[in-house]
Amino acid sequence: MDNKIIQEYLEYLNLIHQFSVFENAVNTQRLIQNISNLLKYKFIRKDEIVTLKDEISFVDVILEIFIGKYGECVNYKSEINGNITDVYIPNYSVLTFVECSLFNSFESKENNLNLNLCIDYFERNIKIKIQDDNTANEYSKENTHLIDSVIFKYNSFFSMDSLIDINFNVNKNTIVKMEIPKIL
């Protein structure tokens, strides 16, 4: 049912995209394309296992939508080991935390948001670190349910517990550490 509704919306977005092409609205086209792709990735492929590379590519899409919406308000830095992006993870697990960081920052922060994404080996395992400097003490209540389900999905996929660690440092930053066991 969810997919059915999303597909309908995607059809509308596609329709609007076509109009924007007719009307030669380039930025509009690009934004619609981004939001459409993001919705497809998030909902149509929600039960899929994706590569880390795919997941990281959509970080850029989200950021582009965000910047397109709010302007240049995010300083994004990424340190990603290119050799390890072919590992598989559950869909929208990294992006969920990226999304949360972005959304939360606009509730609590007036200055630009610094967002760092680091992916590398650490003691034979792959570690993903998502760090922001927003001053919100924790993610909003709206996101708690979503994060809980992502943690459950992530741990279930790797059949291990405590693979995701979230640290809210009061008035300082939020650090999310995700671990991918080497065996995979």
Partner 1 sequence: MFYFPKKFINVSIKKKLIFFTVSIVIVLSLFNIYFYYAFYKSTNEYNTILREYSDINNLSINLLESKESISKYINPYSEYIGDEHELENYDYNIMQSENLIDTLMNSSETLDTYLLIRAIKNSFSEYDSSIKKILDLKQDENNYNEFLRIKNNTNYIEQYIRQLIDVKLSEGAWYQNELSKYVKNIRKTYIVGVSLMIVLSFIYIIAFSNNISVPIKKLTFFAKNISEGMFKKEELVLNSSDEINILAKTLNQMASNIDIMINLERNLMNEELMRTKISNELSKAKFLSLQSQINPHFLFNTLNAISKYSMFENANKTTKLIEALAVILRYNLGSVKKHTLLNDELEIVRKYAIIQNSRFGNKFKFEIINKLEKEIVYIPRFIIQPLVENSFIHGLEAKDKRGKVRVKIKFSKYDKNTVIIKIIDNGVGISKDELLIMFDEDKNLKGDTTGIGLNNVRTRIILYTGREDSFVVRSKVDWGTIITIKINILRRT
Within 10 angstroms of residue 102's Cβ, the number of other Cβ atoms is 22
- Residue closer to partner 1 by CB (options 15, 49) is 15
Beta bridge partners of 130: 117, 176
Smallest separation (angstroms) from partner 1 to the CB of 6: 8
Question: CB neighbours of 8 closer than 8 A, spacing ≥ 6?
Answer: none
Q: How far is residue 82's CA from residue 69's CA, in Å, rounded to a whole number?
A: 30
Residues near partner 1, by CB under 8 A: 1-2, 4-5, 7-9, 11-13, 15-16, 19-20, 22-28, 31-32, 35, 42-43, 46, 65, 68-70, 99, 103, 142-143, 145-146
- Residue closer to partner 1 by CB (options 8, 165) is 8
Q: How far is residue 16's CA from residue 28's CA, in Å, rounded to a whole number?
A: 9
Smallest separation (angstroms) from partner 1 to the CB of 5: 5
Smallest separation (angstroms) from partner 1 to the CB of 159: 24
Smallest separation (angstroms) from partner 1 to the CB of 21: 9
- Residue closer to partner 1 by CB (options 15, 184) is 15
Q: How far is residue 120's CA from residue 125's CA, in Å, rounded to a whole number?
A: 8
Q: Which tokens go with 151? A: 């943690």
Smallest separation (angstroms) from partner 1 to the CB of 86: 27
- Residue closer to partner 1 by CB (options 104, 135) is 104
Q: Of 134, 124, 125, 123, nearest to 175 (Cα)?
A: 134
Q: How far is residue 115's CA from residue 101's CA, in Å, rounded to a whole number?
A: 8
- Residue closer to partner 1 by CB (options 30, 127) is 30
Chain centroid to CA 131: how far? 13
